[in-house]
Amino acid sequence: MRPAAARDWLPAVGVFVIVLVVWEVGFQLLGVQSFLIPRPTVIGEQLASDSATLMRGLLFTGTEAVLGLVVGVALGTAAGFATARWASAREVLLPVAIGASTITIIAFAPITLN
């Protein structure tokens, strides 16, 4: 790593550390209950104690995301080739693609999950 790169990200790391320290000390001094907003140390302890469960969830979610990306790229590429090659495929797929692009993802997700 070049020395200038460290100077580029060092201020961001410094601000992050200062925010964590102020958060921890401030909440201890004010006596804020952990069930309202937990301190960074409490969050760290929970992350460490539940690390096995979190890793299983991370592995499952990561696998689903990568498989979804691979399937989406494969189907999208196949649809692109089909619409470029055959007029009949273009006539069928183009209106579907235009209709799908007008629907926002937030509105489309509940439809596909049921």
Confidence of residue 113 (pLDDT cuts 50, 70, 90): confident
pTM attached to this predicted model: 0.59
Domain count across the chain: 2
Same domain, 11 and 37: yes
Q: What is the CA radius of gyration of the chain?
A: 24
Nearest residue to 23 via CA among 12, 10, 36, 37: 37
Q: What is the pLDDT of residue 64?
A: 95
More confident: 112 or 37: 37
Q: How many helices (H) and strands (E) does the chain have?
A: 5, 0
Same domain, 70 and 104: yes
Same domain, 62 and 43: no
Same domain, 110 and 87: yes
Average pLDDT, the chain: 89
Range of the domain at 4: 1-49
